């Protein structure tokens, strides 16, 4: 019902409706209009190879550029987008925009980078997901392996059967998957053999205490070794200082991402970064 009202951009607040519900409807309408009016934008955070410092990919992170307010971060609107279903058209927009941007970068000569896009649980349950993505790839003349989809552990466990079906469809397209926030959920590598997983993303909570906490070091070390034995690459997220970076290098972590290396940035700033020499290499000098 609230959904319909949002779509028609009409808000009828009857007297009995509590304030919470009214706010919810208002926010839902706002978010729907934001998407329709092009207020969403993507920022990109670079991902680096920890061995040679090269820029290997970017993760697309959605922001809402709210008129008169400024940037609103996903934590403040993704949950509502999830519960209302707005995440489905929004996620489709994100995929299109990210693939379009990657094509532009590749055409500019930066053809060794991949694009990582976050998927929501709701998107994973859409039967049309794989064919939607196939259409986008075709439109952008993109190879499937240039796209990486990030899915959290808990999303896989929630609805294992649907996840397996959708993911094998995605796999048939040649798309690879990364398990996001790894270590915060079941942290079982056993189920990974059921999925075409290319990469694990170690959650930033483990990276945060890396130098101080020997247990986190042991956990990360075990995850990296086990993943490598299964032919799965590992990327660490949330690298905020040089000590963390050094530890991860010593532990043989393949790739890294974090404020210390580069913050998420608008496409125009990413253009500049791509044209500069690699920031990791510069830091070493
Ligand atoms: P995530 O996929 O785990 O993304 C990593 C988050 O950590 C991002 O926050 C990023 O800006 C932040 N981050 C990066 N480096 C550092 C660091 O060194 N330190 C710290 N403390 N944080 C760092 P952001 O952009 O606010 O996104 C939050 C979450 O929202 C994402 O977590 C992802 O789950 C979700 N999200 C973002 N964009 C999308 C999207 O397009 N679709 C969907 N479904 N979810 C999205
Ligand atoms: Mg992610
Ligand atoms: Mg993550
Ligand atoms: Mg995270």
Per-residue pLDDT of the chain (285 residues; tens, 9 = 90+): 444 544 555 556 666 678 888 898 999 999 999 999 999 999 999 999 999 999 999 999 999 999 999 999 999 999 999 999 999 999 999 999 999 999 999 999 998 999 999 999 889 889 899 999 999 999 999 999 999 999 988 887 777 778 788 888 998 999 989 999 988 876 677 777 777 889 999 999 989 888 776 788 888 899 999 999 999 999 999 999 999 999 999 999 999 999 999 999 999 999 999 988 544 444 444
> Which candidate, 253, 256, 228, 226, places its Cα nearest to that of 241?
256
Look at residue 125 and give its three-state secondary structure: coil
HSE, side-chain direction, 13 A CA sphere, residue 32: 19
For the entire predicted model, the pTM comes to 0.91
How far does the centroid of ligand 3 lie from the alpha carbon of residue 17, in Å? 37
All residues with CB under 5 Å from ion ligand 2: 118, 150, 180
Residue 124 CB–ligand 1 contact under 6 Å: no
CA angle 218/260/199 to nearest 5° reads: 55
Give the integer Cα–Cα distance in Å for 270 and 264.
9
ipTM over 0.95: yes
Residue 45 CB–ligand 1 contact under 6 Å: yes
How far does the centroid of ligand 4 lie from the alpha carbon of residue 142, in Å? 27
């Amino acid at each position: 019902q609230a959904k319909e009202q949002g779509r028609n951009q009409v808000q009828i607040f009857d007297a009995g409706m509590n304030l919470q519900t009214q706010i919810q409807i208002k926010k839902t309408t706002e978010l729907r209009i934001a998407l329709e009016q092009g207020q969403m934008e993507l920022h990109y955070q670079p991902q680096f190879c920890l061995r040679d410092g090269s820029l290997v990919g970017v993760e697309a992170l959605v922001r809402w550029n709210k008129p008169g307010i400024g940037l609103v971060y996903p934590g403040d609107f993704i949950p509502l987008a999830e519960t209302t279903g707005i995440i489905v058209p929004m996620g489709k927009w994100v995929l299109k925009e990210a693939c379009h941007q990657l094509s532009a970068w590749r055409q500019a000569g930066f053809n060794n980078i991949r694009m990582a896009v976050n998927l929501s649980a709701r998107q994973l349950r859409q039967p049309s997901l794989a064919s939607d993505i196939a259409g986008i790839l075709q439109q952008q003349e993109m190879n499937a392996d240039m796209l990486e989809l990030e899915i959290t552990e808990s999303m896989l466990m929630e609805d294992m059967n649907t996840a397996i079906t959708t993911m094998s469809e995605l796999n048939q397209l040649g798309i690879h998957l990364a398990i996001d926030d790894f270590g915060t959920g079941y942290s079982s590598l056993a189920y990974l053999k059921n999925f075409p997983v290319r990469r694990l993303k170690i959650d930033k909570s483990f990276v945060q205490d890396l130098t101080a906490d020997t247990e986190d070091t042991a956990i990360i070390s075990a995850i990296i070794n086990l993943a490598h034995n299964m032919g799965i690459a590992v990327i660490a997220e949330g690298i905020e200082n040089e000590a963390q970076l050094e530890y991860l290098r010593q532990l043989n972590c393949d790739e890294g991402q974090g404020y210390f290396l580069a913050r998420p940035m608008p496409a125009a700033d990413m253009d500049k970064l791509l044209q500069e020499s690699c920031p990791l290499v510069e830091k070493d000098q």
